[in-house]
């Protein structure tokens, strides 16, 4: 039987400027708000998503800066996939 890697999914929601520590194998940002946002200075349009996937046994340690400016309609969903050894 092949070896299986266990993982958990962590989902957070942000409406303000926020620094997000990844410490995961894969991370996805979804702009669910009514205005564009920046993820480490990369524009993310309304309804768009940005996914960064790691290879097996990789750990992303990037600090992601979510910038919504002065928007009161921002809503960024962050989904992280964390392998069991990363918890």
Give the 3-state secondary structure of 12-72: EEECCCEEEECCECEEEEEECCCCCEEECCEEECCCCEEEEECCCCCCECCEEEEECCCCC
Q: Is the pLDDT at 86 greater than 80, yes or no?
A: no
Q: In this prediction, what percent of the chain has a pLDDT beyond 90?
A: 77
Mind listing the pLDDT tens digit for each residue in 9-29?
999 999 999 999 999 999 999
Q: In this prediction, what percent of the chain has a pLDDT beyond 70?
A: 94
Domains annotated for the chain, with CATH where assigned, are 7-86 (2.60.120.10)
CB 24 within 8 A of CB 80: yes
pLDDT of residue 1: 56
Output the average pLDDT for the chain: 92
pLDDT of residue 2: 65
Q: Is the pLDDT at 44 greater than 70, yes or no?
A: yes
Q: Is the pLDDT at 34 greater than 90, yes or no?
A: yes
């Amino acid at each position: 039987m092949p070896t299986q890697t266990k993982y958990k999914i962590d989902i957070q929601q942000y409406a303000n400027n926020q620094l997000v520590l990844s410490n995961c194998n894969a991370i996805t940002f979804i702009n669910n708000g009514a205005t564009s946002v920046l993820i480490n200075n990369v524009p993310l349009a309304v309804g768009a998503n940005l996914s960064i996937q790691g290879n097996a046994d990789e750990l992303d340690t990037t600090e992601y800066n979510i910038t919504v400016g002065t928007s009161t309609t921002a809503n960024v969903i962050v989904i992280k996939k964390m392998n069991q050894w990363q918890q």
